[in-house]
Structure 1
Amino acid sequence: MEPSEEKKEYIAAPAPNEQVIAPPEPPPKPPRARVSDVIDDEVESPRQTMERKRDYLEGFLQKKPEVTPAGEPGGPLYEAVIEALKEIYDPEIPVNIYDLGLIYGVDVSPDSDVVVSMTLTTPNCPVAESMPAEVELRAGSVPGVRDAEVVLVWDPPWDPQKMSDEARLELGML
């Protein structure tokens, strides 16, 4: 082939018994977007959007929290009893009995009666007689508590997994 000759591609003509189908027409082009199409009286300006967000935030911040009943977890009487129990320390271990995991439950009735379910590290604990009485006195001395009772339970038995992270850190177990 000489350099001046161009390579031409030929398409074979259809056979006489073949039907010639025209190529499909391309779909019409979509209309172009115009700025005038976007600007509408109903669309908020950035200033209006910001004012709406600010109003929403102000309403949210001014909403008063739901009042937790005094005896429910998070309520003032319940939390005061927990704080009083955190002041009682195990005589053998320098950790309070609440973080030590000895308190299984604190129930405050609508009449402000408190029932503390607790255990001891072992049934042979040297303070088995005095500790429940001290817990009862502390819980009963919280302002607003009408009566306090301690229920000593042994099931489930206490184990070191019931201790809080603060107690484990204090005892060098972390």
Structure 2
Amino acid sequence: MSEELDTAVLGEKIVKVLKTIFDPEIPVDIYELGLIYDVFVNEDAEVKILMTLTTPNCPVAETLPLEVEEKVKSLDMVKDAEVEITFDPPWSQDLMSEEAKLELGML
């Protein structure tokens, strides 16, 4: 009998991992910056992350999605991970958490 995957627990673990990844130009993690739009987890422990970048020509446009994918894949419970980049809606400072705004002196 296989254990049923607890997608809520896995979702929390994924968020913890995302909070360890930082935009190199801004000292705030990508989750608090609002760069992560959605995290989907299916019963097979396959993860899809919909994220954006601060700008389309962001210097880490090549490396940041790969870092996100690799770190999420490194979780024991995750079978596979895929990152999809979107610019719809475009990122704006409104997407940042209060914590991120405070960190950057915007509050």
- Tell me if both proteins adopt one fold, taking TM over 0.5 as the criterion: yes
Q: Bigger radius of gyration, 1 or 2?
A: 1
**1:70 CA displacement:** 1.7
DSSP-derived class of the 1:151 partner? strand
- Aligned counterpart, 1:95: 28
Q: More strand by proportion, 1 or 2?
A: 2
**1:158 CA displacement:** 0.2
The two structures, once aligned, show a CA RMSD in angstroms of 0.8
**1:83 CA displacement:** 0.3
- Aligned counterpart, 1:86: 19
1:138 to 67, 71, 78: 71
What is the TM-score normalised by the length of structure 1? 0.58
**1:111 CA displacement:** 0.5
Q: How many residues align?
A: 103
User: 1: CA distance between counterparts of 2:101 and 2:44?
Assistant: 36
- Kindly indicate whether residue 96 of structure 2 is the aligned counterpart of residue 160 of structure 1: no
What is the TM-score normalised by the length of structure 2? 0.94
Structure 1 portions without partners, runs of 5+: 1-68
Correspondences of 1:1-174 after superposition (within 5 Å): 70-71=6-7, 75-174=8-107
User: 2: CA distance between counterparts of 1:161 and 1:95?
Assistant: 15
Q: Moved runs in structure 1, 4+ residues, more than 3 A? A: none
User: 1: CA distance between counterparts of 2:65 and 2:10?
Assistant: 20
User: 2: CA distance between counterparts of 1:70 and 1:166?
Assistant: 28
Deviations 1:138-172 (A, max 9, x none): 11111200000000001000000000000000000
User: 1: CA distance between counterparts of 2:103 and 2:74?
Assistant: 28
Structure 2 portions without partners, runs of 5+: none
Question: Relative contact order, CA 8 A, sep 6+: which one is greater?
Answer: 2
